[in-house]
Amino acid sequence: MAAKAVQDALTRAKEIGSVWEVSEEYRVVQESVVPGVYEHFKSSAEHLKQYVVFGVSFDVATEAFSVVYTALYGNNFGALLTRALLDEKEGFLVPVNRPDYAGPRFVLVREAGVEELATLLKHI
């Protein structure tokens, strides 16, 4: 549902000429991903796959939106990472449709405030 709203907003913005010229459409994109702790659909009790999401970024060269986050486990622990917002196969908002699972790729565990996010960024 969120992916469709974002895609619709981006389509409207492109018709006008720039996502930056259309504050309502840009707001929809920015609000599509709430800053906080998210869990990946492959997470399990034995191997928890959680991430802190800081927000959505805009690449001026490609005009693509990405989610900015850090992993709370594994080799990427603490690294500042990005993931495409709407990539057809791996997009943050694009649902997973597999024989063993159908649903969101990431699920919000809890929201994080600005102060908590700032503290986390200091340790990256």
And the tokens for 18?
């720039």
Which CATH code is given to the segment(s) 34-122? 2.30.30.320
What pLDDT, on the 0 to 100 scale, is given for residue 39? 96
Q: Sketch the domain layout of the chain as residue ranges.
A: 1-32, 34-122
pLDDT by residue, tens only, the chain of 124 residues: 566 776 776 676 666 555 555 556 667 777 889 999 999 999 999 999 999 999 988 887 887 889 999 999 999 988 999 999 988 899 999 999 999 999 999 999 998 888 888 887 777 7
H or E segment to which residue 107 belongs: strand 106-111
Question: How far are the Cα atoms of 20, 37, 42 from residue 28, in angstroms, in the given order?
Answer: 12, 20, 27
